[in-house]
Homo-oligomer: A and B are copies of this chain.
Amino acid sequence: MGTMRVNDRTDERADGRVNDVVAHIEAERDRFLADLKEWLAIPSVSGDPARAGDVRRSAEWLAGNLRRRGWPTVEIWETPGHPAVYAEWPAEDPAAPAVVVYGHHDVQPVEPLEEWDTDPFTPVEKGDRLFGRGASDDKGQVFFHALGISASLAASGRKAPPVTVKLLVEGEEESGSVHFADLLRAHRERLACDAVVISDTTMWAADVPSMCTGMRGLAEAEVTLRGPSTDLHSGSFGGAVPNPLQAMAALLAGLHDADGRVTLPGFYDDVVPLTDEERALFARLPFDEEAWLKAAGDSRAAHGEKGYSTLERIWARPTAEINGIWGGHTGPGGKTIVPREAHAKLSFRLVAGQDPRKVQESFKAWVAENTPPGVEAEVRVGSGGVRPCFSPIDSAGVRAARRAMERAFGTEVLFTREGGSGPEADLADILDAPLIFVAVGLNDDRIHAPNEKVEIPLLLKGAEAAAYLWEELAAALR
């Protein structure tokens, strides 16, 4: 944290309200951390059936805490699995915009326990860091909103925020959000809003605050190619009948062209292209490709679609990946056969504008088209995949949130995206509202790993940004 510029607050201190926000947060710091530690001590591991009672206890703790903090409406929302918490703080003006804030109160398992330096459910402060499962993902990031809204009210002297804040904290994010879309549909009217703030991602670095503007979607498929009804002796038949493994190699090799572009017809048609501004902002991120390659399993070279940087490739360009292939003899020694079947599992990461179902259908048609005579192809696509989500950097909501972040951090806020996929698109689709990612986690917070931590100064910055966010959004979304 030595290089952080977050204390360089000269400009903001000229503004009295900033000082009130900061003063409130500083005054509340100890109570905020004490409360958060209480919450972190509840082992709300949603993936462990034995912890179901703890997940419920976590929801009840949050509901109780928010009630004590003065939220007018706090409810436990049941699902067929673990409960969510819903809390609402209406704006005074009934015509004010409404904003849903999304987070989750369940946490990842803690195994391997022996790799933790301290007990995962006994939160410990060490210097500027708070260690414990859920500190960053996602209890800490949910809870900064509780402090942010009180700082906002303290600074404004009002009894209600300038927008209606609807905090929705689910309890199944770490086990696949299996009931989340249904929960959204069931409460769609209560959750009606003008924007959804997601606080479950990361920033580029402690000294390079940033906002995520999108996550990739996902479409999966499994291909089976069938040749002879049984494995054949390659001496008797080899060279005169189609070999399904050879057909599979040819099929999958044809999925990319020489420029690393996916060859499915129309694959790029719906892609929302990167704007020049976004590419320029990505390029300003202090990206160390060598270090990234090292983190990428000591990958020896960057490789991908021609004409795009590594960050653009993983954040803003769709891909086709072969996740697994199998067929024929895979045991020890040789077996000279023409195998009967070949199998492959594939996944496509999708970006703004693309529809997983459409990609799956296009893949099916392409496989049928590219299977040689004498080979029978079957494509199974399973679920409908995950839709990509995307918030244009010039949208009103993103610009307002960026101003809030810049006021808190006192420096320019850059943009990132996430290469992975999550349930966030459901929020955008079902609530029909734009997403805004406001988060202060770091990539080295070791979420999903032993010794998860959060940087306390960043949590407080998150609270400060959240305090500014409501007035910025009130102005922007009206």
Contact = CB atoms under 8 A, between A and B. Distances in A.
Interface of A: 216, 218, 220, 222, 227-243, 245-246, 248-256, 293, 296-305, 310, 313-314, 317-319, 321-330, 334-340, 342-345, 347, 349, 372-376, 382, 418-421
Given A229-B297, A231-B297, 11 more contacts: A233-B420, A234-B323, A239-B318, A241-B304, A245-B325, A249-B250, A321-B336, A321-B337, A325-B342, A326-B326, A330-B343
A227 to B, nearest CB: 7
A326 B330 contact: yes
A245 B299 contact: no
B419 A336 contact: no
Contact of A334 (B235, B236, B382): B382
A247 to B, nearest CB: 9
A327 B324 CA distance: 6
A322 B246 contact: yes
A215 to B, nearest CB: 8
Nearest to A301: B374
Contacts of A375: 300
A1 B274 CA distance: 76
Contacts of A218: 235, 336
Contacts of A325: 245, 248-249, 325-328, 330, 342
A300 B237 contact: no
Nearest to A230: B297
A349 B249 contact: no
Number of copies: 2
A335 B324 contact: yes
Interface centre among A220, A303, A322 (most CB of B within 10 A): A322
A296 B240 CA distance: 10
Contacts of A338: 321, 323
Contacts of A220: 334, 336
B248 A256 contact: no
Given A234-B349, A241-B299, A323 B340 contact: no
A240 B345 CA distance: 19
A251 B252 CA distance: 11
